[in-house]
Amino acid sequence: MIRKYAFVTICISALAGCGQESSDSDIALPSATFAESYAAAEAALAAAEANRNAWSKTDGILEQSKTAYDEGRTDDAIELANEARLQAELALAQSISQKKEWKANLVLE
């Protein structure tokens, strides 16, 4: 799990330039209960998908979260839900910033 967070941290660094529109407060702290964490992750994912830019691993992490909860591993379930939420929030921040920043990728004009 630490490795997964480390990877997400790397992604945050990589996205530093495109996170300018979302303040630090947009990435909320982990919620207290599984139900809250899971619902927050679902809402964040729905927002990313509505913006047509969800990341491909997020659905699977959310499924793993549900499985962990069903198996009684609540702490793992919350951690996974929070990871899914973070990914979805980063995806949303990426798509919002790229709506302006995509021109920075132009190399032929």
Provide the binding-site residues for other proteins, judged by CB under 8 A: 11, 14-15, 18, 49, 52-59, 87, 90-91, 94-95, 98, 101-103, 105-109
Q: Which is nearer to other proteins, 2 or 106 (CB)?
A: 106
Give least dist CB 32 to other proteins, A.
27
94/25 Cα distance (integer angstroms): 16
Kindly provide the b/e burial profile for residues 55-89, where b requires at least 16 CB atoms within 10 angstroms of the residue's own CB: beebeebbebbeebbeeeeeebbbbbbbbbbbbbb
Q: Which is nearer to other proteins, 40 or 48 (CB)?
A: 48
Give least dist CB 87 to other proteins, A.
7
